[in-house]
Amino acid sequence: MTLGGIFNIGGKLIDKLFPNPEEKAKAQLELLRLQQAGELDEMKTQLSAIIAEAQSADPWTSRARPSFLYVVYVLLLWSIPMGILTVFSPESAAKFTAGFGAWMKAIPEPVLTLFGVVMTGYVAGRSWEKVRGAAK
């Protein structure tokens, strides 16, 4: 059961246990305060794991996730200048796109497959750690 589910049950109990509107409002306020404190603690725990990875002495551990995301960001953001180039010079944009496609096709398929398997294993491993509660 998640924290949200527990607090939903708490809200229903408050409705049944406190018929007086003033007492009910006080209890709901306290429940909200506890919920916010719990969410803040959960966010602190998640942030501490990210900070620990970033401060690791091992450069692979501290930079792997951000480096991969930077590459993805660059690829996504590159669509903006390509869109502008298409407006002013469709031929150049078509040539660039064909060249980029040829460059991507030059990467051997087993390398791409290996990358996909490794990333899937990494994501599955991290998910399993979170389910077990070993990593938050």
Domain boundaries, the chain: 1-58, 78-136
Whether the predicted model's global pTM rises above the 0.75 cut: no
CA dihedral 112, 64, 66, 55 (to 10 degrees): 170
Tens of pLDDT along 21-79?
A: 787 777 777 777 777 766 667 767 777 776 776 677 766 666 666 677 788 788 888 88
How buried is residue 104: exposed, middle or buried, by Cβ count under 10 Å (0-12/13-18/19+)? exposed
pLDDT (average), residues 96-116: 90
pLDDT computed for residue 1 by the predictor:
45
